[in-house]
Structure 1
Amino acid sequence: MRCFTEDQIMVRDAYRKFLASEIAPQMEGWREAGIVDRSAFRKAGELGFLMIWPDAEYGGMGDNDFRYEQIIIEETARVGCLEWYNTLHSRLVGPYFQRFGTSEQRARFLPKCVSGETILAVAMTEPGAGSDLAGMRSTAEDMGDHFLLNGSKTYISNGINADVVIVAAKLAAADSKHAMVLLILERGMEGFERGMKLKKMGLPAQDTAELFFTNVKVPKSNVLGEPGKGFYYLMEGLAEERLIGAVGYIANARRAFDITREYVMQRNLFGQPLSEQQNTQFRMAELDAEIDMAQVYVDHCVSEHNAGRLTSTMGAKAKMICSEVEWKMLDLGVQLHGGAGFMDEYPISRMFTDARINRIYAGTSEVMRLIIGREIFTQKYRSMHD
């Protein structure tokens, strides 16, 4: 039995109704338009569903229990609305202000983030630097009262809609490749330009864009934390980012399972339902077990995160396992749908292409294996398992 409080169950029920009335009916139109309308953020903000963790002075509930975000992610997946990247705004980017921002920055930015008036993004990835952040080339030069930012970013989620973007850049002339600074860029800053919305294999409603910086003057009041420590700030948030991904991936896998189960019970093959075939039963049994086991680990990671014990390796394990199980389930779902699985009128088709990014986003499965593998051969690993 999963452990949610009465308050969390009430939030889940209310959020479920909100999705059914305000978000799910709009998704097809947003997919055709190629972008989620900004009104989705404002409506969620008005009802308190956008950012729960900020203190009441900023408009939030002041409750940092990650299970609230887990509920939001799971319910968003359940109705097929994961293209609305509300959690990127709420729980991946927003907390940078809490962890590294000044009281002035929190007062200036958080209230409008909570209300949905301001939409957030974070810009790390570059054409030659994805999982390897140390390879980024964007630079920030200290000019005394401001930083001068030059460079570009790519594959930035919320790239078109975002009003505020946290940009990672290397400190110009620094000796260390890890000497980075996080800068708060605001819409309209001179020299800050966006490219066209990028065309992708899946997630058509999610606005993904290139960002360009040409001599952008960023005032010192828009620096997050201490210059030079940006790389370590980014690393600090990666465990949670990967847990966020894992929560969504395994919820999406369960949705794919349910859709496939319903289909094979109705589809006849050789005079009997496809669900009566031994191959169907064996494969579905395997995935049902794998999804359940992965869900148990995700719930464990959420508890560990709430207790302040989530490690980068735990986050890597959760992301790797859940994205791989999700992909297995979606591949099986398409296969068991037969020709119908190749048609976009069936949800499994779109889910398949949408999910292909999940073994890449926030660190590829190969990088996750590197992270896990490096710990296996350390004294720390031995002491943990003695």
Structure 2
Amino acid sequence: MQRYIFGDDHEAFRASCREFLDRHARPYVDEHLEARAIPREFWLEAGKQGLLGLEVPEEYGGAGAGDYRFNAVLAEELSKVNAALSSCVGIHADIVAPYLVDLCTDEQKQRWLPGFCSGEILTAIAMTEPSGGSDLAALKTTAVRDGDGWLINGSKTFITNGYSADLIVVAARTSPEKKAKGITLFAIEAGMSGEEGSERSGGREGRVAAAEGADDRARWTGTNGFSRGRKLDKVGQTESDTAELFFEDVRVGPEQVIGEVDRGFVSMMERLPQERLGAGVSNIAHAAQILRETVEYAKERKAFGQSIGAFQHNKFLLAELVTKIEVAQAFIDQCVEAHRRRELSATDAAKAKWWSAEVQNDVLDSCVQLHGGYGFMNEYRVARAWRDARVTKIWAGSNEIMKELIGRELGF
């Protein structure tokens, strides 16, 4: 079915994204998998291409696009490569960006946004904790007043880009008596040093930065008391570095507060719809790409003297899957358009997130089945996609929590 939400400018941008990924991502997916990380070189090249600052005003080095449809195009093209690439870039460019652009002071923007756009400053957001996932109001990481600043103590887990991020947006409790209304967001300048710095800034990307006169924006000495745990050993999305973060008397000054003190929970709630919509966009694009490849496989694979797609069961199944994807895509497109007009409700964003994750996982499970034994082999894209997709029912708020939010809207 033809889609109507994109214009010529969006399609030209799509072609540019595709060309970039053909040069800087697709040839290296196996290397990313082996390294369990997206190399800094990729981020620097993405910055040169102008892909990281779509929401950032031009005065800070961004594109100042002012149109969420460009974000959606980028997410779709990244998802066609693999889910991990989309999630890593999405965290930085689609999820963290609004916090820095909307809530930071001019001084903070000058300090962080140019490097954010160039790929010199990689970002993450730290909400989830070991003791709880979707219940953000119950977080236990604390920030206690210490002179004109705060001392942060606690830990975070399942943080995408957590192992490699230079700047981390951290949610901490500043006023325990206020419960959800007592949370503040802080910017932790994570820095790089020792073996970690050598591993991440060495090689060609380090030479590129040096040759181009990169400044010290992304090379802070680090924050005392902050440390990263291991790269977490996940079932899927191995390429995305996901880590635990630890804070032991980490001292931050007032210049590291993002937004207003005790307004962090509100700030997160205001920006979660975009995060959930971004997940929906990526989920459907990811599943649609693997389904297209599965249709071609079903035409070429022979059994009992004919292509496996010609068997009635398989033909009917593929017809169902294509229809399911197109119906879900139509709803996601409407949500993208609503968000562009700043009319997307939190409830509709929840619908987009949970339904797209269900469709994605159902479609990919069927694609694995259609591949037979090959569908269970890691060397096949369908197997990796199936494995990578499972987390989409969990992150950005579990599907069960999404249904709870929708149910509340119904008056229950």
Q: In the aligned structure 1, how far is the partner of 2:335 from the partner of 2:83?
A: 24
Q: Which residue of 2 aligns with 1:43?
A: 45
Residue of structure 2 aligned with 1:206, choices 229, 233, 240? 240
Return the TM-score normalized by structure 1: 0.96
TM-score by length of 2: 0.90
Equivalent in the alignment of 1:56: 58
3-state SS, counterpart of residue 74 of structure 1: helix
In the TM superposition, residue 172 of structure 1 has moved relative to its aligned partner by: 4.7
- Secondary structure class of the residue paired with 1:226: coil
Partner of 2:214: none
Q: Does 1:114 align with 2:117?
A: yes
Match in the other structure for 2:74: 72
**Amino-acid identity (%):** 41
Q: 2: CA distance between counterparts of 1:242 and 1:172?
A: 28
Q: Which residue does the alignment assign to 2:25? A: 23
- Is 1:276–2:305 an aligned residue pair? no
Structure 2 SS opposite 1:83: helix
Distance apart, 1:177 and its partner CA = 4.0
Alignment of 1:201-240 (within 5 A): 201-240=235-274
Q: CA deviation at 1:146?
A: 0.7
Aligned residue for 2:114, secondary structure, equals helix
User: Are 1:94 and 2:128 counterparts?
Assistant: no
Structure 1 counterpart of 2:91, one-letter code: L
Q: 2:382 aligns with which of 340, 348, 354?
A: 348
Q: What secondary structure does 1:182 align onto?
A: strand
Pair 1:357 & 2:381 matched: no
Instruction: Please tell me the residue identity of whatever aligns with 1:247.
Output: V
**How many correspondences in the alignment?**
378
1:264-312: CA deviation from partner (whole Å, max 9, x where unpaired): 1111222211111111111111111111011111110111101111111
Hey, what's the Cα distance between the residues in 2 that align with 1:227 and 1:203? Answer: 35
Distance 1:372 1:147, change over 3 A: same
Query: Which residue of structure 2 lines up, in the alignment, with residue 176 of structure 1?
Result: 179
Q: CA deviation at 1:377?
A: 2.2
Q: Which consecutive residues of structure 2, in runs of 5 or more, have no partner in the other structure?
A: 191-221
**Is residue 83–residue 282 contact of structure 2 (8 Å, CA) maintained in 1?**
no
For 2:99 and 2:177, locate their aligned partners in 1 and report how far apart those are by CA, in whole Å: 23
1:233-252 maps to which residues of 2 (within 5 A)? 233-252=267-286
1:18 CA displacement: 0.5
Q: Is the 8 A contact 2:175 2:262 kept in 1?
A: no
Q: Which amino acid aligns with 1:130?
A: G
Native 8 Å contact 1:27 1:81 kept in 2: no
Q: Which residue does the alignment assign to 2:215?
A: none
Q: State which drifts further: 99-108 or 117-126.
A: 99-108
Higher RCO (Cα < 8 Å, 6 or more apart): 2
> 1:125 is matched with which residue: 108, 125, 128?
128
Partner of 1:382: none
Shift of residue 2, structure 1, vs aligned partner: 2.4
In structure 2, the partner of 1:334 is 368
Letter in 1 for 2:64: G
Q: How far apart are 1:83 and its partner, in Å?
A: 2.9
Find out whether 1:292 has 2:295 as its counterpart: no
Structure 1 unaligned regions, length at least 5: 379-386
Provide the rounded CA distance (Å) in 2 between the counterparts of 1:229 and 1:7. Answer: 37
| CA distance in structure 1 between the partners assigned to 2:48 and 2:305 by the alignment | 53
In the alignment, what sits opposite 1:157? 160
Residue deviations 1:65-109, cap 9 Å, x none?
011011101111123364351121011001101111111111111
Query: What does the per-residue CA deviation read over 1:287-346, in whole Å, with 9 as the maximum and x for residues that have no partner?
Result: 111110111111101111011111110100001111100001110001111111000111
